[in-house]
Structure 1
Amino acid sequence: MTGTQEQHAPAGAVADGLDARLVVDRGGFRLDVALTVAPGEVVALLGPNGAGKTTALRALAGLTPLSGGHLRLDGTELDRTPPEARPVGVVFQDYLLFPHLTALDNVAFGPRCQGATKAEARAQAAEWLDRLGLAAHTGAKPRRLSGGQAQRVALARALATRPRLLLLDEPLAALDARTRLEVRARLRRHLADFEAVAVLVTHDPLDAMVLADRLVVVEHGRVVQEGTPADIARRPRTDYIAQLVGLNLYRGEADGHTVRLADGPVLTTTEVLSGPVFVAFPPGAVTLHRDRPTGSSARNLWRCEVAGLETHGDQIRADLTGELPLAADLTTVAAAELDLHPGAEVWATVKATQTHAYPV
């Protein structure tokens, strides 16, 4: 899906990237997302399944009509512009390459639609394939390409139209883990060189953290948090985001170093705060004991029960219930020495210095 480049901002308009408020009503679901993206910036729409990410992307592409709001690109209103007339390039999750065309002709398709001669379009396509490291595969049809190669052909096809808005829908989802690592690094380099607006839709936090300059987290059709990857990782504001970045997250009322949670437990922090706050700490900050510890310097101590155990990278993650539901990471050896199993009673400790409290 590509558009033409004949859409220009009116005289006096400021070429300021994307300015949108996407309102879409579909049955009982309502999307209402404000989105501003500067030229040269990569923004990732991140959220759980059903949050509205793909609906937002389709609205930007013109494939789903807006129920309200607005959509401006470089000062030009696009609300009523048909998809084929928008200066937009889309890389779909399944790439949607034409199976009967070579890589070269797949990429040349967009320039041909924009009025280039066959020779001009093929020359532009060859240049883009070379830029993306595919000069040796110009004559290959999609079935002969690896997943990573097909992804780069799809990207070249989108970029060959010189779009002012590049949309990427789960661009790495179809790749295996090893290929994904390599292609993610390549894609980051290409996006860094892209001078217009790029919007990435993904549910994968690592893709978002690596590829995007800024994250916009969507839940239930609304933006719940936005900021740089570092800001989001350090200060999550919903349980979904905390789970994404691997943190235990709680909300309570602060009085000095003490935070009292709604259901009773108290946490001690190093920050001095007052009023509603979040408190977060990583599962690796939790130390488990089978007996109540004596002489521990940890200010936070709770009696818990092991609800479940699972492998998490090279560690074991324990899901704990009890006085304070939380996740704890420990080594396989430590889990064995503690004889952890579902139903086992444990004491969990966290040092105040390993917590992070911040205002709601």
Structure 2
Amino acid sequence: MKFICNPTEFSEALAVVSKALPAKATTPILEGIKISVDNDIVTLSATDVDLFIERKIKARVLLEGETVVPGRFFTDFIKKLTDLNEIEIEKLDKDLKILYNGNETVIKPFDEDTFPEFRDGEELNSFSVKQRELRDVLERTIFCVAVDETRPILKGCLLHLKGEELTAVALDGYRLAICKCPVVLGEGTAKVVLPGKNLNEISKILDDTDDVVKVSIQKNVVKFELEHTKISTRLIEGDFIAYENIIPKDPIGVVTVNKEMFEKGLDRASLIARKRKNNYVKLDIGENSMNISSEAESMKISESVPCKLNGTNIVIAFNSKYLFDAFAKINEDYITMNFVSANAPATITPIEGDKYKYVVLPVRLAL
């Protein structure tokens, strides 16, 4: 195997596929990135068994072949050569040589025959969506994926295709995130639950462009196809929570508030809230003003921000982190919060439309 390539393009491709490398490999071969050279294409691939990423780049191929290199070391080393115009990669016998600027580095590759192959299954359904739309939907939801192992299904994010609309849903028992986007091409219905950590890596690969990504649903796998990249992730088996039943209905109060002003007041109050065990911030919402307060053993704070309330006044408390996490995903200047009671979940929505929805459990206040 022998080829010459641009080190910057090579490094960028390695950075993409290295996202599939496991934090702690169960077998040494999973620490590797496979390099396959055919015609004028170099194909890089890596997997942790649950996530598989493949990226192709063009190169000047002198000899076809394949090998598996130590993934993280090789990725880091090539990154340090990106100031050069070209480098040469050559495998002879049991050694792999990296030739650059009259110098060479030799490493011992893995046995490529033991690298796990990822085979496509029968396509059950598929749809296409703009990369920027899919990335936005994932970023607005996956932060709500559960981190504990008690309910494995909650470690995943639901992708629900219904006609020409894709909905992503995630929840962890304390908050729920829902976000929607249109699909470019798709029909019928489909529901799949994918690991949150895999979708997080996929969202980092997607570009902020109108280029389309094809999503293919197979029996145990969902595949994302970009122009030069293929990503496959295994499904999480089981039925997702009936999240529609969690969303509160018939609010007694709907408040509209400037997000930045609310955040700043909340931020100051949360500094004091961290001093106490239950870490909550209290909101006392009236017709034209929202009072934000918190207190600890030796300090307290009380601030007011203007708001517009339609409905009944309410006093309710939240873990401020859950509000901040939702606010971080909202770009609008104003937000709407819907309340059913002081002990029922509150819903955060845009002023117009239903692109996203966040549901947050309150902290029960002592009487």
* TM-score, structure 1 as length reference: 0.26
Q: Which has the higher strand share?
A: 2
Give the number of the structure with larger relative contact order, counting CA–CA contacts within 8 Å between residues 6 or more apart: 1
Q: Which has the higher helix share?
A: 1
